[in-house]
Structure 1
């Protein structure tokens, strides 16, 4: 390799190491993929806190809720609107579109599941 190639390789390596740290310093969460893998491999994830949200859609046929929600800290999810499965379909009887709720959610593989909900 030439000196120029060595410098280019060193700059790319340094960028790959520094950019995630700069993103973290700017307030973006750092994702530790090995931590996610070990949590799904049987280790206990942090206890879920209640998250505030608004019910946008109730689908009793599929057992799913669409919720516009704040940050879900225990699964490191920023505020957004998305579809969740419910742990118990009876939960769907207690909510309707437009309800302001507090809920707990967990991630099970690729599924996001509401485990508790309060109006």
Structure 2
């Protein structure tokens, strides 16, 4: 039984002392992500965005197609626009629920 104590001590010592802060779930629910509009498909309710990391979805930066929750969210958007947006997984579909011009 004493053989596991050094192993446990090694694991504790190896743990980083400066862990990255993680926002609580409530704070992550409203986090906005930086993005650039690559395509606007109003007819199909889809938006292609090149985006930074999406914290609340634990997703790295990439370019991808999102469903848009409401067609009104796409009003006035055009390719090349820099935006801030919020996305959620709704029924296993990545969906933009809020979007605004970046400032």
TM-score, normalising length: structure 1: 0.60
Q: Which runs of 5+ in 2 are unaligned?
A: 1-15, 17-25
Q: CA deviation at 1:89?
A: 0.5
Q: Who is 1:40 aligned against?
A: none
Q: Are 1:49 and 2:31 counterparts?
A: yes
Q: Who is 2:51 aligned against?
A: 69
**Contact 1:55–1:65, Cα closer than 8 Å, also in 2:** yes
**Contact 1:58–1:97, Cα closer than 8 Å, also in 2:** yes
TM-score, normalising length: structure 2: 0.69
Alignment counterpart, residue 117 of structure 1, candidates 92, 99, 102: 99
- After superposing on structure 2, the runs of 4+ consecutive aligned residues of structure 1 that deviate more than 4 Å are none
Q: What is the alpha-carbon distance in structure 2 between the residues aligned to residue 55 and residue 100 of structure 1? A: 7
Looking at secondary structure, tell me which structure has more helix per residue.
1
Q: Are 1:102 and 2:47 counterparts?
A: no
Secondary structure at 1:61's aligned position in 2? helix
Q: CA deviation at 1:94?
A: 2.5
Moved more, 102-111 or 74-83: 102-111
Q: Which runs of 5+ in 1 are unaligned?
A: 1-24, 26-43
After superposition, the CA RMSD in angstroms is: 1.6
Counting matched residue pairs gives 76
Looking at secondary structure, tell me which structure has more strand per residue.
2
Deviations 1:49-86 (A, max 9, x none): 00000000000110000000000000101000000011
Secondary structure at 2:72's aligned position in 1? helix
